[in-house]
């Protein structure tokens, strides 16, 4: 004999009582911590160009943090954050890519955060240098000159993150040349 559900019972599915045909398919996700990190707190869900949004958010957050730091702490903090974001970004990107069954999901932007931070190491705190650092990183990230394109072939999160780390290193090198030559101040 089947018992009728209680009047105050809650449906067991996560669509809040909405039939599956109306609720739509749910997005596959990795563990919550990995999704939060990989999407950089959801910024990777912004459209269009989630990578550009991730880079822009990184520039703005770094500008705010760097202005609050003493000048002696800026370079070590930028380096430390770059290393930390890279090290936590690789496993997070791996788990989210696996869950989404996509090699390099566009909504994973922690790689842009790592690369953009690298591009801003030792950059004077000025809107021009932040803008040039942003543009340089985005150009190298999008064009992927050799060997950046080969780094994408590395497995899972390693390939997702390290090609952007290399794009950040390229942007860092060009930025330092521009600063050293006096073309940018």
H helix or E strand, kind and range, residue 130: helix 127-143
Is residue 160 within 8 Å of 93, Cβ to Cβ? yes
Per-residue pLDDT at 19: 42
CA dihedral 14, 109, 126, 72 (to 10 degrees): 100
Assess whether pLDDT exceeds 50 at residue 4.
no
Which position has the token pair 């932007």? 109
In the structure encoding, which two tokens stand for residue 118, read together?
Answer: 């690298």
Question: Which domain range does residue 54 map to?
Answer: 29-181
Q: What is the mean predicted confidence (pLDDT) over 54-63?
A: 98
* List of E strands, 56-123: none
Per-residue model confidence as pLDDT tens digits over 59-108: 999 999 999 999 999 999 999 999 999 999 999 999 999 999 888 899 99
In a domain, residue 157? The reply is yes
Domain count, the chain: 1
In a domain, residue 7? The reply is no
Of 115, 144, 116, which is closest to residue 130 (Cα–Cα)? 116
DSSP code at position 97: H
Per-residue pLDDT at 23: 40
pTM of the full structure: 0.82
Per-residue model confidence as pLDDT tens digits over 114-166: 999 999 999 999 999 999 999 999 999 999 998 888 998 999 999 999 999 99
């Amino acid at each position: 004999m089947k018992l009728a559900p209680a009047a105050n019972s809650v449906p067991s599915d996560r669509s809040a009582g909405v039939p599956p045909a109306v609720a739509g398919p749910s997005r596959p996700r990795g563990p919550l911590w990995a999704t939060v990190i990989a999407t950089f707190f959801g910024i990777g869900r912004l459209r269009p160009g989630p990578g550009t949004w991730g880079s822009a958010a990184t520039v703005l957050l770094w500008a705010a943090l760097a202005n609050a730091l003493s000048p002696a702490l800026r370079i070590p903090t930028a380096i430390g954050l770059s290393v930390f974001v890279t090290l936590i970004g690789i496993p997070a990107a791996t788990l989210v890519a696996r869950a989404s069954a996509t090699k390099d999901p566009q909504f994973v932007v922690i790689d842009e955060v790592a690369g953009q931070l690298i591009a801003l190491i030792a950059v004077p705190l000025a809107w021009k240098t932040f803008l040039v650092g942003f543009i340089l990183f985005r150009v190298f990230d999008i064009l992927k000159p050799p060997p950046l394109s080969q780094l994408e072939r590395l497995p899972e999160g390693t390939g997702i993150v390290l090609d952007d780390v290399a794009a950040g290193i390229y942007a860092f090198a060009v930025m330092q040349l521009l600063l050293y030559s006096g073309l940018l101040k």
